[in-house]
Amino acid sequence: MTQAAETARTVIMTVDDDPGVSRAVARDLRRRYGAGHRIVRAESGESALQALRELKLRGELVAVIIADYRMPGMNGIEFLEQAMDVHPAARRVLLTAYADTNAAIDAINVVDLDHYLLKPWDPPEEKLYPVLDDLLAAWRAGDHKPVPSTKVVGHRFSARSSEVREFLARNQVPYRWYSADEPEGGRLLSAAGQDGRRLPVVITADGTPLVEPGTADLAAHVGLATTPAADFYDLVVIGGGPAGLGAAVYGASEGLRTVLVERSATGGQAGQSSRIENYLGFPDGVSGAQLTDRARRQAAKFGAEILTAREVTGLEVNGAARTVRFSDGSAIAAHSVILATGVSYRELTAPGTEALTGCGVFYGSALTEAAACQGNDVYIVGGANSAGQAAMYLARGAKSVTLLVRGESLAASMSHYLIQQIEETPNIVVRCGTVVESAHGDGRLEGLTLRDAHSGQRELVDAQWLFVFIGAAPLTDWLDGTVERDERGFILAGPDLTADGRPPAGWELDRAPYHLETSVPGVFVAGDARHESAKRVASAVGEGAMAVMLVHRYLEQS
């Protein structure tokens, strides 16, 4: 451990119910160790335990605990026994009078005592410091590391635990995962005052425990912006995928007061991709997370405001203003709006899959689960690029990866370069004309029933991991009655609105809608949510930039 890390995090605690003795011990400790350690003192076992729990939640390290033996309510041995449950690596010292030497010796077996010191300890240079020097050296040899980041305690096969981990990962929030049934997870739960019946428990970097937090509450506590800084903007971008991020970058860089609103995590489906190899300017490929992080930082650099965990539920026209309403009843308004809501993966309708979602069945790549797939058989449903990219990524560590494709081949929906890579990867198997008929498992996925789409023949296979990448359902139901959409819910814009030579219903301007303009003037669409869009990252980014150009044109003529 570096001296900097030790200085910032390592604690020496002293506990004594006699205020005079407590101050004297702390004084001697600060004189010798104050420059490199934080000295914490308490005057009762209960208050010391509370302090230890708070230190645990904040991820601070406790190197040595010095406790007086004779304390009312809870003696030093009883205190150290409970302290072991919170900070088991801390070195333990009992401060005792000569008459209590036998009790101190017995404590060596009861609480694995490292040392006992007789009162008085003067001079400390002879009786205190040499002991502490040796204990600190022994503690440092254990290579302890501070864990100040957000901590998540939950169960591996828990849908909500999986959602929380995915939310934090996709929003670039560093965190550490602890299983509730492992010792350190249990210690964190105990420090947070929880018994493990309500999970997950998220412990923020400042030590605040959140029990089964909602997405908005979680976002607010881990430092993500959730509240708009103003009531009115030049441009509101709804959706944080490639199209939305592209619009935010170009809008903000060109002087528009821009806010981007994302209901979950920036990046959209592309942000979940393990590797994008056909995006211009990245010949060696780039992960969706890396591309998203760069785009988000770029938008923020130009002054775009980014709101996370805010769900938009309505769009209203109020004169020249376009009002965006949120699920909590609040609203913001702007001169213009770009709809970049993207699409979501369709859910499997096979029996058993709904109950096992997050417990072995995942929609999208769920990269936080990839490490747990090491050495296992993995199944992927889907035949487009996102499924192929996930197969290549998971094949690095999985025993086998089986692509289940409803169609006759991959050629109709997957890029040629990905098909070639899959063919060259020995542990990837492609089964065309195959569908998932049902999923089985008690609390977690244990098996799948597969059906041949042609012969109807069924096969039961063992499976612990199923990743689903099927179809593209637009996230536009909240726009019903506001903007025109096609029969599948994709938003109509520009020429698609005037295919019959007439303007859309309710259109009051003496011009036709611009290329990406919807049936509501000043409201534009970009990316996968648009009718007949290309469903590629590059085209989504390009449409986001083009939409901003059309926003300028609209504002100039308004």
Please check whether residues 59 and 13 belong to one and the same domain: yes
> For residues 130 and 115, is the Cβ–Cβ distance under 8 A?
no
Across 78-94, average pLDDT: 91
Terminal C-alpha separation, the chain: 62
Summarize pLDDT for 428-447 with one digit per residue, the tens: 999 999 999 999 999 999 99
**CATH number for the domain that contains residue 170:** 3.40.30.10
Across 519-546, average pLDDT: 96
User: What is the Cβ-side half-sphere exposure of residue 281, based on CA atoms within 13 angstroms?
Assistant: 3
Please check whether residues 216 and 241 belong to one and the same domain: no
Q: Which residue has the higher pLDDT, 2 or 522?
A: 522
**CATH number for the domain that contains residue 101:** 3.40.50.2300
Q: Tokens 């009531």 label which residue?
A: 231
pLDDT surpassing 80 at residue 132: yes
Please check whether residues 79 and 174 belong to one and the same domain: no
Across 438-467, average pLDDT: 95
Domain of 123 in residue numbering reads as: 3-140
Q: Which residues of 37-60 are buried (b: 16+ CB within 10 A; e: fewer)?
A: bbbbbbbbbeebbebbbebbbbbb
Domain boundary among 175, 198, 221: 221
Summarize pLDDT for 185-212 with one digit per residue, the tens: 999 999 999 999 999 999 998 899 999 9
Residue 154 lies in a domain: yes
Q: Which residue has the higher pLDDT, 254 or 506?
A: 254
Please check whether residues 334 and 483 belong to one and the same domain: yes
63-67, 112-116, 292-296, range with the lowest pLDDT: 112-116
Residue 145 lies in a domain: no
Q: Which residue has the higher pLDDT, 82 or 149?
A: 82
Summarize pLDDT for 344-376 with one digit per residue, the tens: 888 999 999 999 999 999 988 666 777 788 899
Please check whether residues 408 and 454 belong to one and the same domain: yes
Percent of the chain with pLDDT strictly greater than 90: 73
3-state secondary structure 259-313: EEEECCCCCHHHHCCCCECCCCCCCCCECHHHHHHHHHHHHHHCCCEEEECCCEE
Please check whether residues 66 and 180 belong to one and the same domain: no
Please check whether residues 492 and 441 belong to one and the same domain: no
Question: What is the predicted pLDDT for the residue at 28?
Answer: 94
Q: What are phi and psi of 472, to 5 degrees?
A: -145, 105
Question: What is the predicted pLDDT for the residue at 214?
Answer: 94
Residue 273 lies in a domain: yes
Q: Cα separation of 16 and 23, whole Å?
A: 9
Domain boundary among 438, 468, 498: 468
Residue 547 lies in a domain: yes
Question: What is the predicted pLDDT for the residue at 172?
Answer: 86
Q: Which residues are CB-contacts of 120 (< 8 A; sequence separation ≥ 6)?
A: none
pLDDT surpassing 60 at residue 342: yes
40-49, 100-109, 124-133, 532-541, range with the lowest pLDDT: 100-109
Across 227-253, average pLDDT: 97
Both tokens of 314, joined, read: 């309505």
Please check whether residues 478 and 338 belong to one and the same domain: yes
Residue 351 lies in a domain: no
Please check whether residues 14 and 120 belong to one and the same domain: yes
Summarize pLDDT for 133-191 with one digit per residue, the tens: 999 998 988 867 665 689 999 998 888 999 999 899 889 888 989 999 999 999 999 99
pLDDT surpassing 90 at residue 524: yes
- Does residue 193 sit in helix, strand or coil? coil
pLDDT surpassing 80 at residue 110: no
pLDDT surpassing 60 at residue 2: no
Residue 355 lies in a domain: no
Residue 545 lies in a domain: yes
> For residues 366 and 412, is the Cβ–Cβ distance under 8 A?
no
Identity of residue 542: G
Question: What is the predicted pLDDT for the residue at 269?
Answer: 85
Question: What is the predicted pLDDT for the residue at 5?
Answer: 41
Please check whether residues 199 and 131 belong to one and the same domain: no
Percent of the chain with pLDDT strictly greater than 70: 95
**CATH number for the domain that contains residue 276:** 3.50.50.60
Q: Residue 4: pLDDT band by 50, 70, 90 thresholds?
A: very low
Please check whether residues 88 and 178 belong to one and the same domain: no
Please check whether residues 432 and 549 belong to one and the same domain: no
Both tokens of 152, joined, read: 């998540």
Averaged confidence pLDDT in the chain:
91
Percent helix / strand / coil, the chain, rounded to 5: 35, 25, 40
Residue 103 lies in a domain: yes
Domain boundary among 109, 140, 171: 140
Q: How many domains does the chain have?
A: 4
203-207, 497-501, 524-528, range with the lowest pLDDT: 497-501
